[in-house]
Amino acid sequence: MNLSPLIVALDFDNRQKIKNLVEDLSKYVDIFKVGHLLYLKYGTEILDFLKEKRKKVFLDLKLHDIPNTVRLAVKAAKEREIFMLTLHALGGSEMIKEAKKEADDLPKLIAVTILTSLSERDIKSVGIKEKIEDLVKKLAKMAINSGAYGVVCSPQEAKAIRDILGSDKIIITPGVRLDENAQDQKRVATPKQAFESGADFIVVGRPIYQAPDPVGKVLQILKCIE
């Protein structure tokens, strides 16, 4: 499968502009990320639109629930031909194994380790004493051993994770910035650094959809990683 390594997150609330953006970027982008906002507001319509445009959907619902509930959600995602579906590794091994029962080829289960918006201080404040990098490595290994197809992590952790996962599992990194403001992202890197660290795909949202020229921005990102 030869897919563009750039996944574009459609995290804004204007259905016509979203459709226009998908059309404009269609030549360069194969996978679009649909998150909570878009899914809750225009779920069926936007999934049908992306299918019609022959685009793959990275449905980022970050499932985290009891195993049976997650398995049923995965079943529904399979029926909708979702390409990639995220779940929180923190949901545990049993949850991921149960989810995998409904995921054959599709949807590809992608485990989110620790959100890139969280810092060491943030995780301490919720009672986790471990260092982010150690925790991310542990979660990634557990998720893959439980049946996940790949993991989402910060580009800053991708290298350590690649060493653990080997070459056949995929790593997706958000928190990617060229020279833009990092906004709420705390563990960021450039596209080049992300791929050099072992990412297979990067997810970029605001730097593209908030750019005055999104196509130009996509070309700029793709050029950095050729």
Give the footprint of ligand C5P on this chain (CB under 6 A): 9, 11, 33, 35, 60, 112, 115-116, 152, 174-175, 185, 203-207
Tell me the residue nearest to ligand C5P as measured from the CB. Answer: 205
The CA distances from residue 16 to 28, 171, 184, 214, in Å, are: 20, 31, 26, 15
Closer to ligand C5P by Cβ: residue 79 or 135: 135
Active site residue 17: no
Q: Which helix (H) or strand (E) holds 205?
A: none
- Judge whether 199 and 171 are in contact, CB under 8 Å: yes
User: Which amino acid is present at 1?
Assistant: M
Residue 10 CA to its chain's centroid (Å): 12
Which residue's CB is nearer to ligand C5P, number 146 or number 185?
Answer: 185
Smallest distance, Å, CB 130 to ligand C5P?
17
Q: Closest CB to ligand C5P among 79 and 121?
A: 121
Q: Which is nearer to ligand C5P, 37 or 101 (CB)?
A: 37
Of 108, 167, 157, nearest to 135 by C-alpha is 157
Catalytic residue among 56, 62, 137, 217: 62
C-beta separation of 117 from 156 below 8 A: no
d(CA 20, CA 183): 25
The residues carrying an active-site annotation are: 62
